[in-house]
Structure 1
Amino acid sequence: MAEKAINPIFLSRPNLDEVDIQAVVSVLKSGNLVQGKEVANLEEKINSLTGSAFSSAVSNGTASLHLALVALEIGPGDEVIIPAFSYIATANVVELVGATPVFVDIELGTFNINVSQIEEKITSKTKCIMPVHEFGLCANMEEIIRLATSHGLYVIEDAACAIGARIGDQYAGTFGDFGSFSLHPRKSVTSGEGGVVTTKTKELDEKIKTLRNHGIRPGSFPMDFVEAGFNYRLTDFQAALVSSQMRRLPSIFRHKEALVDLYLKSLRTDILLLPSVPDGFTHSWQTFHVVCKDHETRERLIGWLKEHQIFCNYGAQCIPAMSFYLKKYQFDVKQQFPSAYEAYSCGLALPLSETLTSEEVSYVCEIINQFK
């Protein structure tokens, strides 16, 4: 019988130390709260981490995707290819610019878009492929870039979960025309709400920086409004909070990798499909996501874990099965997107965060192994 761990065990919990808090306090005391030097400092840190040429910090990860689509002038009449399994924002931003999301099924194990099914979805209306690096694992970007290049398409990486993820030595967010990161509290570093847009060219970077700030051309004086822009700015105290946490990123990644290794070694049950990582890929492990053998087992396992004060959650959505998309496009979800539907209806995100201990992971595994 497992020795009882310290309870409760939460899915995730941000770790903000005294240095992080003082970084915010310092900005608050300065009186310079809106987008300023701390935002610029964070952008430099993101460039240094990822190797991106340019970065723009914005108000949230959904805003970063929205800005990328607007900057590429994607809108009514256009189609954007996205995976059928992701957080709902991936599809919502396509709808919000008036374009049509075209869904592609995923591969179980990696939970990323099935690249072998992308080309059949490309039409004369397709303007962009928007792969998601689901749960912190890069999609097959070599094949996606090859397809995009051969068909003259843009690529926007939804890297919301994937700060620090790599294929070989190249980081998520640097393969396509744009990369989009989230700074939500479940991410490795957080500003509460926040996002970052990465890109390769000065022209696209200036477009993002203009659009995020009401359409004001950066550095213009007197102030000149050259676009119908948005208020998607990040505050300086949010930026300072993230910059402070980034000093711990290497140790955060090492800690999560050790916990994941413990999960993979300790879970001894035939009711779960465990995640897999292709050779040459470095997972950033925003989420440890498993798939139960069926929906009923998933629901009973959630209840069993809750009885033992272990709290977990669904990992992401099968977006075509959500009411808005199902009603609008009349999908046959189980037939068209079987893997995405299985990952959604049978999937489960287990506890994983910087604050989680190896003793707690061992306890979670023992409780799951006892589940009948």
Structure 2
Amino acid sequence: MEFIPLTSPDIRDEDINAVVEVLKSGMLVQAQNVQDFEAGVATFTQTKNAIAVSNGTATLHLALVALGIGPGDEVIIPALSYVATANVVELVGATPVFVDVDTDTFNIEVAAIEAKITSKTKAIMPVHEFGLACDIEAVMKLAEKHGLPVIEDAACALGATQNGKHTGSFGIFGSFSFHPRKAVSSGEGGILTTSDDALAAKVRILRNHGVEMQHGKMEFVAAGFNYRMTDFQAALVNSQLKRLLKIIDYKNELAEVYFNEINHSGIKLPVVPADRNHTWQTFHVVLDSDFDRDKVITELREKGIGTNYGAQCIPAQQYYLKKYGLDSAKEFPNALRAFKSGLAIPIYEKLQKEQIRQIASVLNKLTR
């Protein structure tokens, strides 16, 4: 079997041509394509503003800075995510407060959030893990009860919804990534959505060295960052955005093949709640504890299938373990299990359904 990588972005001739046009124009940074990209994402997510930046970590960092979160503050996040979710909290001098995740969806366990809220809590930052919306409606109700802003880490979840409402439109901010593992990609890149015009203006200033135009002149009104997106990155992803819904639909067809074909008793499949759709940035399964997940990854690679673990149990990572000394086995058992026994298997636009069946067949033959 020809090797099937874990992911492979579908960059087509029209996408490449869009980039070439920008390169020929000489207008490389934050020009018309960036504006078009922002307008397109704002319309798609039904938010008033979208601000394009250099990557999906910069979006979260800017959101925290714009909200004035810093030393002495706490931000509630799930224990299972990519480590960037916690890193940005550390980078503004605040403290990440971890909450365990649900075993079916791998998203934050909403019922466990309230016990973690203190007088120092300044925001809740749930993650829409692997492309599935968390129970963001419940998160919003809890946040409103306590007067807390919500920053949606929707890095994997452009196009995900709960009851028809898009991720990125629930909280005060929504953060998206366009890394090559996403449904559409600019290589590196991110976008921050918000319907708060004042916060949007603040983020636009912060992403560009703190510059604000006043009376036709540049004034440096804040200590900002260089978090701009290039125009050729925007052109690349703009071209792909035209087919985003078709990509999501097709990935759901591929996921359905997995659901129909994987029948190993030692492999737990993900669950999609009835009020949500899934964009399948990752098809994440959990192996029984008597499997050695890392050996399974090696075995699958030898059989021509690229796989990896899905996300980190962040408090168990070296930096966070040394700093906070949390016992993940006791405090975040679901996140730890998903990290240690979780397996991300290929699902992307360039795959054929027959390849998905081949992968499922190999998985069904795994021995403990």
Same-fold call, TM > 0.5? yes
CA distance in 2, matches of 1:204, 1:127: 16
Q: Does 1:188 align with 2:183?
A: yes
The alpha-carbon deviation at position 141 of structure 1 amounts to 1.0
The alpha-carbon deviation at position 219 of structure 1 amounts to 6.8
Could you tell me which runs of 5 or more consecutive residues in structure 1 were left unpaired when the two chains were aligned.
none
Contact 1:209-1:218 at 8 Å conserved across structures: no
1:36–1:218 distance in 2 versus 1, CA, 3 Å: farther
The SS at the match of 1:123 is: coil
Q: Which residue of structure 1 aligns with residue 71 of structure 2?
A: 76
Contact 1:206-1:218 at 8 Å conserved across structures: no
Q: Which residue of structure 1 aligns with residue 332 of structure 2?
A: 337
Q: Does 1:230 align with 2:225?
A: yes
Could you tell me which runs of 5 or more consecutive residues in structure 2 were left unpaired when the two chains were aligned.
none
Q: Which residue of structure 2 aligns with residue 200 of structure 1?
A: 195
Q: Which residue of structure 1 aligns with residue 347 of structure 2?
A: 352
Matches within 5 A, 1:13-52: 13-52=8-47
Q: Which residue of structure 2 aligns with residue 11 of structure 1?
A: 6
Q: Which residue of structure 1 aligns with residue 131 of structure 2?
A: 136
Q: Which residue of structure 2 aligns with residue 147 of structure 1?
A: 142
Letter in 1 for 2:185: T
CA distance in 2, matches of 1:295, 1:238: 44
> Which one of 299, 305, 322 corresponds to residue 294 of structure 2?
299
Contact 1:211-1:227 at 8 Å conserved across structures: yes
CA distance in 2, matches of 1:267, 1:275: 12
The alpha-carbon deviation at position 304 of structure 1 amounts to 2.3
CA offsets 1:170-209 (integer angstroms, 9 cap, x no match): 0000000000000000001111100000001110110110
Letter in 1 for 2:194: T
Matches within 5 A, 1:78-227: 78-218=73-213, 221-227=216-222
1:323–1:220 distance in 2 versus 1, CA, 3 Å: farther
CA distance in 2, matches of 1:283, 1:220: 47
Contact 1:295-1:345 at 8 Å conserved across structures: no
Contact 1:210-1:218 at 8 Å conserved across structures: no
CA distance in 1, matches of 2:84, 2:229: 19
CA distance in 1, matches of 2:250, 2:215: 45
CA distance in 2, matches of 1:306, 1:243: 33
CA distance in 1, matches of 2:261, 2:323: 44
Give the TM-score, by structure 2 length.
Answer: 0.98
The alpha-carbon deviation at position 275 of structure 1 amounts to 0.3
The alpha-carbon deviation at position 350 of structure 1 amounts to 0.3
1:219–1:191 distance in 2 versus 1, CA, 3 Å: farther
The alpha-carbon deviation at position 297 of structure 1 amounts to 3.4
Give the TM-score, by structure 1 length.
Answer: 0.97
The alpha-carbon deviation at position 295 of structure 1 amounts to 6.4
Letter in 2 for 1:331: L
Contact 1:56-1:209 at 8 Å conserved across structures: yes
Letter in 2 for 1:190: S
Letter in 1 for 2:252: E
CA offsets 1:333-362 (integer angstroms, 9 cap, x no match): 100000000000000000111111111100
Aligned pair count? 367
The SS at the match of 1:364 is: helix
CA distance in 2, matches of 1:358, 1:318: 31
In terms of mean alpha carbon deviation, does 210-219 or 158-167 score higher?
210-219
Letter in 1 for 2:157: A
CA distance in 2, matches of 1:220, 1:289: 52
Q: Does 1:65 align with 2:71?
A: no
CA distance in 1, matches of 2:104, 2:131: 13
Letter in 1 for 2:358: Y
Q: Does 1:283 align with 2:285?
A: no
1:195–1:220 distance in 2 versus 1, CA, 3 Å: farther
Letter in 2 for 1:214: H
Letter in 1 for 2:21: S
CA distance in 2, matches of 1:145, 1:45: 25
CA distance in 2, matches of 1:203, 1:32: 28
Identical-residue share of aligned pairs (%)? 54
1:367–1:228 distance in 2 versus 1, CA, 3 Å: same
1:135–1:71 distance in 2 versus 1, CA, 3 Å: same
